[in-house]
Amino acid sequence: MRVDIISIFPEYFAPLGVSLIGKARDRGILDIRLHQLRDWTHDVHRTVDDTPYGGGPGMVMKPEPWAEAIDAVVASGAAEPGGEAARPRLIVPTPSGRRFTQQVALEYAGEPWLLFAPARYEGIDARVIAEYGESLRADEVSIGDYVLAGGEAAVLVIVEAVARLLPGVLGNAASVTDDSFAPGAMESLLEGPVYTKPPVWRGHEVPPILLSGHHAAIARWRRDQALRRTVRNRPDLAAGLDPGELGEHDREVLDEAWRAVRSEESVESAG
Q: What is the largest CA-CA distance in the chain?
A: 71
Contact predicate 100/148, CB 8 Å:
no
Dihedral angle over CA of 229, 231, 235, 239, nearest 10: 130
Q: Is 95 in the site for ligand 6GU (CB under 6 A)?
A: yes
Toward ligand 6GU, which CB reaches closer, 156 or 227?
156
Catalytic, 89? Answer: no
Q: Is 144 in the site for ligand 6GU (CB under 6 A)?
A: yes
What is the C-alpha to C-alpha distance for residues 216 and 193, in angstroms, rounded to an integer?
Answer: 17
C-alpha angle with apex 63: 60 to 67, nearest 5 degrees?
Answer: 145
Smallest distance, Å, CB 122 to ligand 6GU? Answer: 10
Q: For ligand 6GU, which residue of 154, 161, 231, 238 counts as binding (CB under 6 A)?
A: 154
Report the candidate in 223, 222, 243, 226 with the shortest Cα–Cα distance to residue 234: 226
Site stretch for ligand 6GU (CB under 6 A), options 16-24, 102-110, 150-158, 165-173: 150-158
Q: Is 10 in the site for ligand 6GU (CB under 6 A)?
A: no
Q: Is 148 in the site for ligand 6GU (CB under 6 A)?
A: yes
Q: Is 13 in the site for ligand 6GU (CB under 6 A)?
A: no
Region of residue 124 (phi > 0: left; psi between -120 and 50: alpha; otherwise: beta): beta
Site stretch for ligand 6GU (CB under 6 A), options 74-82, 104-112, 144-152, 183-191: 144-152
Q: How many CA atoms lie within 13 A of 140 on its CB side?
A: 13
What is the C-alpha to C-alpha distance for residues 4 and 70, in angstroms, rounded to an integer?
Answer: 10
Q: Is 117 in the site for ligand 6GU (CB under 6 A)?
A: no
Contact predicate 133/70, CB 8 Å:
no
Q: For ligand 6GU, which residue of 4, 90, 128, 142 counts as binding (CB under 6 A)?
A: 142
Indicate which residue of 179, 187, 191, 256 is catalytic: 179
What is the C-alpha to C-alpha distance for residues 164 and 158, in angstroms, rounded to an integer?
Answer: 10
Site stretch for ligand 6GU (CB under 6 A), options 54-62, 74-82, 93-101, 188-196: 93-101
Toward ligand 6GU, which CB reaches closer, 63 or 95?
95
Smallest distance, Å, CB 119 to ligand 6GU? Answer: 7
Residues marked as catalytic: 95, 122, 164, 179
Residues that bind ligand 6GU (CB under 6 A): 93-95, 142-144, 146-148, 150-151, 154
